Amino acid sequence: MKERLSGNEAVATAMKQINPDTVAAYPITPSTEVPQYFSSFVANGSVDTEFIPVESEHSAMSACIGAAAAGGRVMSATSSQGLAYMFEMLYVASGLRLPIVLICANRALSAPINIHNDHSDSMGVRDCGFIQLYSENNQEAYDNTIMAIKIAEKAHLPVMVCYDGFITSHSVENIELLDTKVVREFIGQKKLDEYLLDEKRNISMGPLDVQEYYFKHRIELAEAMEQAKDIVKEVSDEFYKISGRKYDMFETYKLEDAEYGIIALNSTAGTIKDEIDELRENGIKVGLLKPRCFRPFDYINIPEALKNLKSLAILDKADSVNGFSGPLFSEITSAMYYKKLNVKTVNYIYGLGGYDIKKDDIKKVFDEIIEISKSDKEFKVKRYIYNEMEGK
């Protein structure tokens, strides 16, 4: 069924079709519309969900943890400072191996206060134990939300579905919706192994872990994240059968024969694809790799996809202050080193606080890495896409 929906409405529609047992949320721009739309579905009887309007994001994740531990299918939504306020409870959710799905409409962190898009919020919690799925557009945000439920419950890990605030969350696009019956059959009934309300088995969650037990549980969490790669692929393949839309750990665009490449997350990939098409018309072999799943990170196959490049630009919409590079660059170049792949690679920090990136900027990036590929001179690895005069 074809529809015209904003990203937030598309995600809320996916949640309606999932019909979770519990949604606990506190409003924060630009994710506010997700619980707002969903609360209307609760009010009109479209879902059977227990909707909990809490007093803060910390409380929202706390309520989600309690509901999931009791055996419920649980979801929430947040952005920016809201995600930062959840920080403590994110580790509890993953440490207890609870399959909570958290929607994150990416937004910059203060201060100064900024309500626009970058990835500093989700990148700031990248190591908390949540699977992270990134979405280029409204369709992907809708699809990832549906797949997230099944991935979370198979992996026994929480999942964060990320998409760009305002750029995706509030922009209206044509998307293809699945029939609700198809969605329900796809996700199936939740199969519970352990839950607090099981009368036949007494268990506890969250007791004190002394050193050796805590270490053991962290290893088990890391192993579960590693095993989640196969689960993400498996669920994505199952989703392809019901939707015709193909997903994997990452997407490539005209990368197979490319000499020069760019890596970027979320909506920026669409801008890059347009510029690639134009450069290809002029005979310049350029391509894109767009990670869809940043946690777990596919450190084996991503370098393999880059092996024929002469030079590469990795775009980060979050900065590691005084770090050698942004987080995406750090992860990918580490994987390239591990696979003994020697490609000249530049890190571009862009879009902080919603600062616009245009096709001309992408062309300049390609021009720079093409020039770098032809020279043996040392080059500056970390750069900022920022026009100082425009910024004043």
Domains identified in the chain and CATH numbers: 2-243 (3.40.50.970), 250-391 (3.40.50.920)
- What local confidence, expressed as pLDDT, does residue 388 receive? 62
Q: Which residue has the higher pLDDT, 390 or 164?
A: 164
pLDDT tens, residue by residue, 8-42: 999 999 999 999 999 999 999 999 999 999 999 99
More confident residue, 23 or 206: 23
Residue 189 has pLDDT above 60, yes or no: yes
Average pLDDT over residues 226-246: 98
Q: Could you tell me if 149 and 187 are in contact, meaning their C-beta atoms sit under 8 angstroms apart?
A: yes
State how far the Cα of 85 lies from the Cα of 80, in Å rounded to an integer.
9
Question: Encoding tokens for residue 203?
Answer: 């268990």
Q: Is the pLDDT of residue 389 over 50?
A: no
Residues ≥6 apart with Cβ < 8 Å to 26: 53, 54, 55, 56, 57, 59, 60, 78, 82
pLDDT of residue 97: 96
Q: Can you tell me which residue has the tokens 């939707």?
A: 243
Helix, strand, coil fractions of the chain, as percent rounded to 5: 45, 20, 40
On the question of pLDDT at 201 being above 90, the answer is: no
Query: Does position 368 have pLDDT exceeding 80, yes or no?
Result: yes
Residue at 82: amino acid letter: G
Sheet architecture: strand order including 101-106: 50-53, 22-25, 74-78, 101-106, 159-164, 131-135, 293-295
Q: How does pLDDT run across 44-86, given as a tens digit for each residue?
A: 999 999 999 999 999 999 999 999 999 999 999 999 999 999 9
pLDDT for position 392? 38
Average pLDDT for the chain: 96
Lowest mean pLDDT among 195-209, 280-294, 316-330: 195-209
Helices 180-187 and 7-18: crossing angle in degrees, nearest 10, is 60
Alpha helices for the chain (secondary structure H):
7-18, 33-43, 57-69, 80-85, 87-95, 120-124, 138-155, 180-187, 211-243, 268-281, 301-306, 327-338, 359-373, 388-391
Q: For residue 282, give both structure tokens.
A: 């002029």
Return d(Cα 73, Cα 91) in angstroms, integer: 19
Mean pLDDT of 269-296: 98
pLDDT at 183 exceeding the cut of 80: yes
Q: Give phi and psi for 75, each to the nearest 5.
A: -140, 160
Kindly tell me the burial class for residue 104, based on how many C-beta atoms sit within 10 Å of its own C-beta (0-12, 13-18, 19 or more).
buried
Helices then strands (H, E): number in the chain? 14, 15
pLDDT at 390 > cutoff 60: no
Q: Tell me whether residue 320 is exposed, middle or buried, using C-beta atoms within 10 angstroms of its C-beta: 0 to 12, 13 to 18, 19 or more.
A: middle
Give yes or no for a contact between 145 and 14, defined as CB atoms under 8 angstroms apart: yes
Strand partners, 251: 290
Q: What is the mean pLDDT of residues 209-233?
A: 97
What pLDDT, on a 0 to 100 scale, did the predictor assign at position 391?
43
Euclidean distance between the first and final Cα of the chain, in Å? 46
In eight-state DSSP terms, residue 254 is S
Residues 167-176: tens digit of each pLDDT: 999 999 999 9
- Cross-strand bridge partners of residue 162: 104, 134
pTM summary value? 0.97
